[in-house]
A and B are shown apart, each in its own frame.
Chain A
């Protein structure tokens, strides 16, 4: 069990490192390439990155609130 757990953790760490490297590359590219958005707001430097990050946090947070309101037992409908 432990060995498999560490294997998963290692996989997770490698994935995180890869993702961070990609993110760094994208940040660098943002200031080299000329990116154009579909709407004006998107032209703001790193707008998609910031928007994506914030949107994700928001979704999960609202999900947590939603759990308090509409989460019920597994057999709520008695079937």
Chain B
């Protein structure tokens, strides 16, 4: 039997748990000291990672063996980048004096980190749901009615994902399968359970048509909240897919669709943080394709992409958060020309934009090349072309549209300046990491799941990628000069959330009103029978059969009941 309890040795505590515990104290610690407390908690949790690979905490409960802390070559890169993202988030929100959001984001990050170290489906479920209930407060914190409604829709989908995961685990266990969280296959007798788990992951990974919650909710959170949201939930799903479904062919199709479809929506979206949410979806597609390929090179690609993506996506969301914080809006139609007022934010945004577009010497390039090479190796040319196309799409919405409409496009209509110092420091660190990893990819490659002998900086990769990017940028300039580039229009772009925000209510309302109608007429019928009953009694009272004595209503009812009882007795005995 395995050592039954979690000991008080800090090294065997599941990483992240300490952050969740520390979050409970956050409301009672004054500002600034609170930020240091949170950084200390994150550092302590990260220190736990030094324990290394292996199973470090198992809990025997109700006949189940819950693996609370499993570390290996796949968990480490995710755990590391989650800690970095959590720390960046604390620095970015340094100016925020309210405790509520800090509590939410620290416990959210902790839950995501704990989830990565879950060695079985039940433990995974617990932390999976914990990320949902902690992160929803980041959306609620925006304080608007609109955010509140978006938060409820978000929570509904996140909890649904958790429930599917639990149901899947239950089905798998009922077929005598193990609940330990490892590679799963659709072939066995527990296929239903595996499908349920797959869908649970698919919701959080924002598969096509399951993605509405992402673009719906993320842009409604606070300036700081969206940065935290962008890092954890979806990348936890990528980790889960890489753990459970590496090499599942279907993921190549799904991932390719994810890279391509959001591109078109991002072109016409006016809310720049929503553009980034579409872009996030497109990036997840690259990772999902890589997981679907499942080769060592491809899984390295998926993990490397998740790692660098968290940094540059956070950087982009931070820069847009800074603009939102300073200007009060993030609508492209109301922005432009901020390069003079917010030059530092602009430079950081450009670095994020060049990283996500995978310019050589920036972090996206060294990660995406792995996936593209792995895809090239498979010989699935159509998927390769779709991803190449999507790369031009990334450049369009994240590389060009975001910085162009925020910082250039028109002369600025706002009087404003640079963001608070904390925001700038966090952006600066993220930007440095983006460039650092791009120039020196070795340390990143060293922590990937499989040994890497890969050199992204060869003539073919560099010139090929530069051709794609530079000529796509020329196409943009051509369109702008010809005035053919679609203008920014204040608008709502319909997405897959339309089905449940508009279609279902519209179809549902007639159904509900019909049901209410039927129920109403049933009630009316009951009332009619009751009234009839009383009418009969009243009639008998006013025209008594037995003589001039007028009995009361109560007596009449008693008499009726007794008669019924008598009748029943006869029937039963007779």
Contact = CB atoms under 8 A, between A and B. Distances in A.
B491 to A, nearest CB: 5
Interface stretch (B94-102, B302-310, B467-475): B467-475
Interface string B464-501: 11111111111111010000111001111110001001
Contact of A77 (B410, B459, B477, B502): B502
- Interface size on B, as a range, is 35 or more
A42 to B, nearest CB: 7
A65 B40 CA distance: 51
Interface residues of A, number: 51
A51 B264 CA distance: 17
A39 B502 CA distance: 43
B551 interface: no
A70 B470 contact: no
A63 B267 contact: yes
Contacts, number: 157
Contacts of B490: 74
B145 interface: yes
B475 A38 contact: no
A49 B411 contact: no
Contact of A19 (B460, B470, B479, B486): B470
B171 interface: no
B475 A64 contact: no
A50 B377 CA distance: 23
A47 to B, nearest CB: 8
Nearest to B270: A74
A72 to B, nearest CB: 5
Given A70-B493, A70-B494, A49 B468 contact: yes
Given A60-B396, A79-B146, A66 B264 contact: yes
A66 B337 CA distance: 28
B475 to A, nearest CB: 4
Interface string A47-79: 011111111110110111011001111111101
Contacts of B486: 60, 63-64, 67
A52 B475 contact: yes
7 contacts: A20-B474, A26-B466, A38-B376, A49-B467, A52-B468, A60-B484, A70-B494
Interface of B: 145-146, 149, 263-265, 267-268, 337, 340, 372-373, 375-377, 379, 381, 384-385, 388-389, 392-393, 395-396, 408, 410-412, 459-460, 463-477, 479, 484-486, 489-494, 498, 501-502
Interface of A: 1, 4-5, 8, 11-12, 15-16, 19-20, 22-23, 26, 29-30, 33-39, 41-42, 46, 48-57, 59-60, 62-64, 66-67, 70-77, 79
Given A22-B470, A23-B470, 14 more contacts: A11-B408, A15-B477, A16-B477, A19-B473, A35-B459, A37-B460, A39-B379, A49-B468, A53-B475, A59-B392, A60-B479, A63-B264, A72-B494, A79-B146
